[in-house]
Amino acid sequence: MTYYARSGTETAPRQTYLNHVLHVLVRGRCYLRKVLYYTPDWERKAVMRIYELAAEYHDLGKLDEKNQDILAKEQKAKRLPLPHSDAGVAYLLSKESAVSALLVYAHHAGLPNCNNIDDMRNKNIKRHVDSSLLEYLARHEKCVRPNIVVKTPHQKTIALKSADVRLIYSCLTHADHGDAARASNEEPQKINPPRLRPTERLSALQKYVDCLKSQNNDSDRNRLRSSFFSACAEMDGDSEIIICDAPVGTGKTTSVMARLLATAIKHKLRRIFVILPFTNIITQSVRVYSNALILPGECSKDVVAEIHHRADFEDMASRKLTALWDAPIIVTTAVTFFETLASATGSTLRRLQNLPGSAVFLDEAHAMLPAKLLPLAWQWIRYSAKYWSCRWILASGSLCHFWEMEEFGDTMSLPNILPVNQRDQLLQFETIRVKHHFYPDAMNLSELAQWIAGMEGPVIVVLNTVHTAAAAAQAAQSVFGEKNVMHLSTSLSPKDRETTLDLVQTRLRSDEDTDSKWCLFATSCVEAGVDLSFKTGVRECASLLSLLQLAGRVNRNSEYEESDIWTVTLNSNDSGVRKNPAFDTSSRILHDFFYTNRNITPNLCTEALQQEVRESMEISNCLIEDEKIYAFKAVEKAFRVIEDQSQLAVIDMHLIEKIGNYEQVSWQELQDGSVRVRENILRQLSIQESRQYPGVFLWTAEYTPFLGYMDAVLKLEKIEEDGFAII
pLDDT exceeds 80 at position 608: yes
Residue 113 forms beta bridges with which residues? Answer: 631
The pLDDT of residue 725:
46
pLDDT of 500-518, one tens digit each? 998 998 998 876 555 678 9
**97-106 mean pLDDT:** 94
Considering only CA atoms, which of 467, 460, 465 is closest in space to residue 521?
A: 460
pLDDT: which is higher, 148 or 186:
148
Please tell me the least confidently modeled range out of 1-15, 38-52, 194-208, 557-571. 1-15
What is the tens place of the pLDDT at every residue in 625-662? 999 999 999 999 999 877 667 788 999 999 998 888 88
| pLDDT at position 381 | 95
CATH match for 435-600 among 3.40.50.300, 3.40.50.1110, 3.30.70.20, 3.30.2350.10 = 3.40.50.300
Nearest to 647 by CA among 719, 574, 696, 683: 696
Cα gap 505→669, rounded to integer Å: 25
Q: What are phi and psi of 502, to 5 degrees?
A: -60, -40
The mean per-residue pLDDT over the stretch 311-334 comes to 66
Give the phi and the psi of residue 515 in degrees, each rounded to 5. Answer: -100, 25
Q: Per CATH, which fold does 198-427 belong to? A: Rossmann fold (3.40.50)
Length in residues, the chain:
727
Residue 403 DSSP one-character state: G
Its pTM stands at 0.83
Give the distance from CA 557 to its chain's centroid: 30
Q: What is the mean pLDDT of residues 549-566?
A: 84
Q: Give how far Cα 351 sits from Cα of 166, 173, 261, 321, 355, Å.
A: 10, 9, 22, 13, 8
Could you tell me the residue ranges of all domains in the chain?
A: 4-183, 198-427, 435-600, 646-722
**Beta partners for 613?**
none
**pLDDT at residue 215, as a whole number:** 65
Q: What is the mean pLDDT of residues 258-287?
A: 87
> pLDDT higher for 39 or 308?
39
Do 198-427 and 435-600 fold alike per CATH? yes
pLDDT (tens digit per residue) in 349-358: 999 999 999 9
Q: Which amino acid is at 183?
A: A
pLDDT at 251: 74
Q: What pLDDT, on a 0 to 100 scale, did the predictor assign at position 77?
A: 65
pLDDT at 161: 94
* Of 57, 41, 148, nearest in space to 94 by CA: 57
Where is pLDDT greater, at 468 or 582?
A: 468
Q: Please give the C-alpha separations between residue 691 and each of 65, 313, 426, 650, in angstroms, as whole numbers.
A: 31, 14, 56, 13
Q: What is the pLDDT of residues 55-76, one digit of tens each?
A: 999 999 999 999 998 888 766 6
CA distances to 511, 648, 674 from 667, rounded to whole Å, are 40, 12, 11
DSSP helix, strand, coil percent of the chain (3-state; round to 5) = 50, 10, 35
Q: Which of 477, 506, 474 is nearest to 489 (CA)?
A: 474
- What are 712-724's pLDDT values in tens digits? 999 988 876 655 4
Q: Average pLDDT of the chain?
A: 85
What proportion of the chain, given as a percentage, has pLDDT over 70?
87
